[in-house]
Chain A
Amino acid sequence: MKGHHLLLGFGILSLGISLSLTVLILATVVTLLGGYASTEAQSVATVLGFTCVAGGLCCAVLSGLQFAQLSAQERGERNGQLREAQWSEALLAWAYHDTPLPQPLDQAGAETLLKLRDTITGEHSDKLQDLYAQEGWLARDLTALARPYLSVVARAQIIERLALLREARALDALSHELTHPHREIRALALLALSRSVGRLNLGHDDRQTRTLALHTAIIRGQFSVGQVQEALTLLGDAGHPLARNLLTTGTLALRVATLEVLSRQRSSALHDDVTGLLYAGQDELRAGALKVFVRSGQVPAEAAAVVLALTADPTSFVRLQATRAAAHLTPCPLERLWVLMGDGHWWVRRAAAQGLSQTPAGQNLLHRARSSHPDRFARDAATEALSASTEHTGTAVPSTVHVRTPWVAGQA
């Protein structure tokens, strides 16, 4: 309703301004040219006056048209919202109480059904999915999609509808669209498939086949890195076979992007595959693999030695991730983190101090480092980490803590 009032106000304002301008122009012309008595001046005044009146009338008509258009647009939106609300209630009553639908599913009803299908999961969501097919909308979409000369816009709309529907019977048609000559159609098909496969309860073999088909399309280089990341995210756990394949056969950019998605998922499911990348020659891959461990909060035992070794990597951002990962090792490598607090790179120093602050033994060490670490930057890092830890836990940090740590006594 607020949008409606805004549009109406805008229309009235435009109309008012146009009329005022017309009157103002006319008044100016009359005032300025009124004093001229010659025939030439009167001729100029007539032309100017006519021009101004015509211009003013044009403004008024255009504003009127704009006003009418905005009103019609707003009225259409309100009718659309009303229809959506009515169809929502009718579809929910049908799904929960088996109340017959008031009329066959029209365009507005089909779109509302898809929104509801996308919002809920479970039995009632599946009933809505079946209704879409029963009312003939699925067959209509699939038939249209099979037409070779369907416009790009119409094809995109159908793919978007099928993405919301998440229908197993549409997967073949969507897979076929992965080879469409138009890149936007291919991208939409990739995302629709990922969304469907990620949320449908497909059998193991079917799911494997679908994800491998995506792998083939991705390896052909038809998608941007961002689109591949989005697809992997939509696939969720179902995307692990695809991620595994991309980690071994993808380009460097794809492998880095896959590692980034795995780190965001905070999953340890592919740690075995990721461990091998700790030995990669490319800095981005080593850092990406370490980041997967860091975000999952776990480092596999067999990767512990290489993680510790990477804390001495010549590349600072690899060292940073290795330092963060080292904090998750059991037992925590306190001695190594103490040394890393004196690293030449600020982020590494900070990560080492934060890693120490996670355990009581590490906190004791931080208290010692604050006053007696040989590196002054390490002392700063320790102070900052202790302050942050205090803010987090709400406990006061004692100004002086006596801690005996034999293996750092020599350094202090």
Chain B
Amino acid sequence: MRTPPSPPTVLLVEDHIAVRTLQRFLLQRVGMTVVECDDLADGERLLREFTPDMVVLDVNLPSGHGLSLLPLIDRTSTRVLVMSGMNQAHLARLSLRGADAFMPKPFEPSAFLTQIQELLPWPAAQ
């Protein structure tokens, strides 16, 4: 009997509760497992505890710059989507040096899911 693949785990690093809840809601709807935190220190701790399949990283966090987490991420097994409310070209370029994709806020929920699924193909995704 074939065992179904386990759902991918996505780590959300986002300080705004409403945004984080929205991201979790969208990802859980397509069957992904979500782990979340709201600041850099928790993000660092979680990245040391386990290796997520993907990190959705906010740039502006109360405790520092979200991109400072990039060196801690094992890029061989983890994809990174950087998100920011500051839709600036230099920020996008900066993010893409260490990330797989950049998405500005506000965002279209379906575009967010499409982006995630492009980076992290998951059979249950719609």
Contact = CB atoms under 8 A, between A and B. Distances in A.
B115 to A, nearest CB: 14
A124 B109 contact: yes
A120 B17 contact: no
Interface in A93-128: 96, 112, 115-116, 118-122, 124-125
Q: How large is the interface on B (under 10, 10 to 19, 20 to 34, 35 or more residues)?
A: 10 to 19
A266 interface: yes
Contacts of A84: 17-18
Interface in A57-79: none
Contacts of B16: 115, 119
Given A2-B39, A2-B41, A92-B25, A119 B107 contact: yes
B21 interface: yes
A49 B74 CA distance: 65
B89 interface: yes
Residue picked from B22, B39, B105, most chain A C-beta under 10 Å = B22
B19 interface: yes
B106 interface: yes
B21 A92 contact: yes
A68 B71 CA distance: 41
A125 B39 CA distance: 26
A85 interface: yes
A116 B110 contact: no
B108 interface: yes
Given A89-B25, A266-B89, A119 B18 contact: yes
B44 to A, nearest CB: 13
Interface in B73-97: 89
Interface string B13-31: 0001111011001000100
A88 interface: yes
B21 A88 contact: yes
Given A81-B17, A120-B22, A266-B89, 11 more contacts: A2-B39, A2-B41, A88-B21, A115-B19, A119-B16, A119-B19, A119-B106, A120-B107, A120-B108, A121-B106, A122-B108
11 contacts: A81-B17, A88-B22, A89-B25, A119-B106, A120-B106, A120-B107, A120-B108, A120-B109, A122-B108, A122-B110, A124-B109
Interface of A: 2, 81, 84-85, 88-89, 92, 96, 112, 115-116, 118-122, 124-125, 266
